[in-house]
Amino acid sequence: MTSFSIHGVGVSSGIAIGQAHLVSNALLEVVHYQLPKHLIDDEIKRFSNAIAAVKQDLEQIKLSLRSNAPAELGAFIGTHLMMLADRSLSEIPKDIIRNEQCNAEWAIKLQMDDIVEQFELIEDEYLRERKQDVIQVVERVLKVLLGHASQLSNKQQNSVINTERKLILVAHDISPADAIQFKQHQFAAFITDVGGVTSHTAILARSLNIPSIVALQRARDLINDGELIIVDGSLGVVIVSPSKEILAEYKLRQEQWELEQQKLQRIKSTKAVTMDGIHIELFANIEVPEDVTAAKSSGATGIGLYRTEFLFMNRRDMPDEEEQFVAYKSVAEAMKGAVVIIRTLDLGADKQMNPDTVSNCANPALGLRAIRLCLSEPKIFHTQLRALLRASHFGNIKILIPMLSTLGELRQTKLLLERAKQSLRKQGIAFNETIALGGMIEVPAAAINADAFAKELDFLSIGTNDLIQYTLAIDRTDDAVAHLYNPLHPSVLKLLSMTIKAAEKLGKSVSVCGEMAGDAKFTKLLIGMGLRQLSMHPSHVLNVKQRILHSQLSLLNSNARKILALTDLDKIEPMVTKFNQH
């Protein structure tokens, strides 16, 4: 067999070598056939039974979740149960069976296509991911209708007990429910045709901590069941039927990578200090309170970004003040006095509480989102601010405002924060009167005017994911232009430098909390530019710390100045590579 490689998006690092296990794609097996009238009622009953079976299966999976399972898994299952109960999937296919006298598989596939088409018309990142949820739910129903009881039969499960570490799952997509079932085994990796860095599959990959690649397009069509493949999650490459030489090379790389991961554990309790004694704070980004466990075990010294929108997502009801307070308080108490920076709601027109009220925005990233949304919905914002203030009495909480672009927005926010404080004072409820307020610099307008923001804020946090996207006019979720998304673009570096200098000038702390912070190849450059705080996914903390421990600030500063003086990306990239070799 000729060896070949497929390129995708690496979402979880590491190297896996094993046999491909193709996961059934029920959508490809659906055929259409007519039914005589006297069999229609039986077909509708068959459909109803399939819906009931999937519901029971999902509820059973939810009940079987271990207490230490990633919290987002339960939320994903809840989303799928909610979709399954919706009339559009549970009832309308019955009408299609009656009206068209067709089989149940065809009816639910027609309805799914109609729903997916509606999602595609909206064209935005968050709703594209919800489209995948619909497809995943329909897949489960189809598997029951087609006689596929589960992704892995008992026979298959028994046969892989001793070899599952060498099995690599290959799928068009993997639903959260399926991933939970796979978690009971210890597969080496998984790869999918679809998905992006923000997809549920990617989030799950990071929580399962196995090498994973998404957006491979046609991997499932090109790879045969049982075929030997290599998954390089760091480079986003799958090598199919590798030659003896490539296999030997990757086995060596795999051993080295695993050895490096073991060695990294030795520095977990070591402080992140450069060779010339400069201390760098390494914080963790979290989505849900349960993530604190991973943050603490990574050696992170605080929470640099708690994304509160995960409390609001995958539900139709609004979390009340008490629910929010309990969540924020639990994180503050678990961190035992360490810094906990909590970002206020970063939802948008594409992420309403009730999916029925979603407005159709042509450019959601440029629409009503983050602080703009909060200021337009003062009641929702007031509830969150009160919950945050109440929780501040139980730990070292700081409040972070996302997507600021004008001083007017900041001043409105301060006014609403003061009103929330006043309401608590009237009720005699304790909170931290001097709670720190920070702003996210993720819009070029805010970076250019960073000195003005620094004067009115206690600290700044640079959100590089959006800053790069807005600066370069590139949708990072769009495969067609993703290759143009580059953190080292000279314009991006200039905006970063402007923000860092503005904070330094006024004696305010500044950190980076986007993906750039967790990528070790940027660590020396960011420190050389003046950063002393970095916040990242817990799994990246030790890699970044290792880079810091082998850095000398005097050398970093001079190299960073040379890089900032360059205007050509083609010259910057090789210089950063050389920078990292010292």
Tokens (6 digits) for 472: 């370069």
- Residue 424 to residue 77: CA distance in whole angstroms: 36
The 3-state secondary structure of 124-157 reads CHHHHHHHHHHHHHHHHHHHHHCCCCCCCCHHHH
The neighbour count for residue 357, using CB atoms within 10 Å, is 7
Active-site residue 102, yes or no? no
- Catalytic pick from 200, 374, 537, 540? 200
Residues in the chain: 582
The neighbour count for residue 132, using CB atoms within 10 Å, is 19
Whose CA is closest to 363, among 462, 469, 461?
469
- Residue 303 to residue 335: CA distance in whole angstroms: 8
Active-site residue 361, yes or no? no
Mark out the alpha helices in 402-488 (DSSP H runs). 407-427, 444-448, 450-456, 464-472
Tokens (6 digits) for 90: 């549970």
Q: For residue 362, what are the contacts with CB-CB under 8 A and spacing of at least 6?
A: 123
- Residue 131 to residue 245: CA distance in whole angstroms: 42
- Catalytic pick from 21, 172, 374, 513? 513
Strand 15-22 versus strand 167-171 pairing type: parallel
Identify any residues that bridge with 339 across adjacent strands, giving them in sequence order: 396
DSSP 8-class letter at 23? P
Which residues are known to be catalytic? 200, 513
